[in-house]
């Protein structure tokens, strides 16, 4: 998906919601477990219930890989079912030496039809560049994350700046705002003003709203730019809104709440 297509979707739907399909088979409604593919059945119902309220879906691959072949098959069916009208993110956090990253890119951009993949920048430019070689595909590089362990490395001084600031500044030189995003956690909202100065035109994938306690209002007011510029991911708060047969309706109700609030913050 091109940058302009993503922007158009955001303003047409008045939404920058990304629904996280971090589907844990131990948490889905018990009545689905008798299905031939309970994870896909669950995902399909969530997608059908929320597709008009969001612009993106994020699949955390760990929850699928943990199930072996069946999990991988469920993920493949899910990403195909989402289709081309939503921005599809593989939350896989890949990143390795160049020839290995090239294979990861092939897996998620050719074998599977994802639009973007999350990438770790620790190994440097040659580990990220292979993901940036595909037309209309995106690398979403970890910047400042929402977990408590961010203080161990990301928030440590690195010369006259913090390490995450060095990462944002350096990585932004490897791509451009049409193929490169950054992960910035919603629980780090106070840092968004400085982050916007470093990367004024890039999109951010923002996890941490919902179950992790991040504020949609704070994120929207501090991180949004003229193009929208953010995809706010909500996973558990939406997909596990109910563990009963009404789970899809409950998910829709929560997603609608975020959609209504997002309309208030989109200025044009």
Residue (of 86, 113, 124) closest to 6 by Cα position: 86
Q: For 92-95, which contacts have Cβ atoms below 8 Å and span 24 or more sequence positions?
A: 92/61, 92/117, 92/118, 93/118, 93/119, 93/120, 93/142, 94/118, 94/119, 94/120, 94/131, 95/119, 95/120, 95/121, 95/122, 95/123, 95/127, 95/128
Q: In the chain, which residue ranges form alpha helices assigned H by DSSP?
A: 3-13, 38-50, 62-65, 69-82, 98-106, 125-128, 163-171, 192-198, 216-223, 236-239, 247-265
Concerning whether 93 is annotated as a catalytic residue, the answer is yes
Q: Among 44, 70, 93, 166, which one carries the catalytic annotation? A: 93
Catalytic positions: 93
């Amino acid at each position: 998906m091109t940058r302009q297509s993503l922007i158009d979707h955001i303003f047409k739907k008045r939404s920058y919601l990304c629904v996280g399909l971090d589907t844990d088979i131990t948490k889905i409604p018990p009545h689905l477990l008798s299905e031939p593919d309970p994870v896909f059945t669950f995902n399909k119902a969530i997608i059908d219930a929320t597709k008009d309220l969001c612009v993106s879906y994020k699949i955390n691959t760990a929850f699928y890989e943990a199930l072996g072949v069946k999990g991988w098959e469920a993920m493949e069916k899910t990403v195909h079912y989402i289709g081309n009208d939503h921005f599809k993110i593989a939350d896989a956090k890949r990143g390795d030496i160049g020839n290995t990253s090239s294979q990861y890119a092939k897996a998620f951009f050719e074998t599977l039809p994802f639009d973007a993949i999350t990438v770790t920048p620790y190994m440097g430019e040659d580990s990220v560049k292979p993901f940036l070689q595909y037309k209309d595909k995106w690398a979403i590089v970890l910047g400042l994350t929402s977990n408590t362990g961010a203080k161990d490395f990301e928030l440590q001084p690195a010369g006259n700046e913090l390490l995450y600031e060095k990462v944002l500044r350096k990585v932004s030189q490897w791509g451009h705002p049409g193929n490169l995003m950054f992960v910035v956690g919603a629980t780090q909202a106070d840092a968004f003003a400085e982050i916007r100065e470093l990367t004024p035109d890039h999109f951010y994938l923002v996890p941490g709203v919902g179950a992790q306690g991040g504020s949609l209002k704070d994120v929207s007011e501090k991180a949004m730019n003229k193009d929208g510029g953010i995809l706010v991911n909500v996973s558990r708060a939406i997909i596990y809104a109910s563990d009963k047969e009404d789970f899809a309706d409950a998910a829709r109700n929560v997603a609608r709440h975020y959609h209504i609030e997002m309309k208030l913050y989109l200025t044009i």
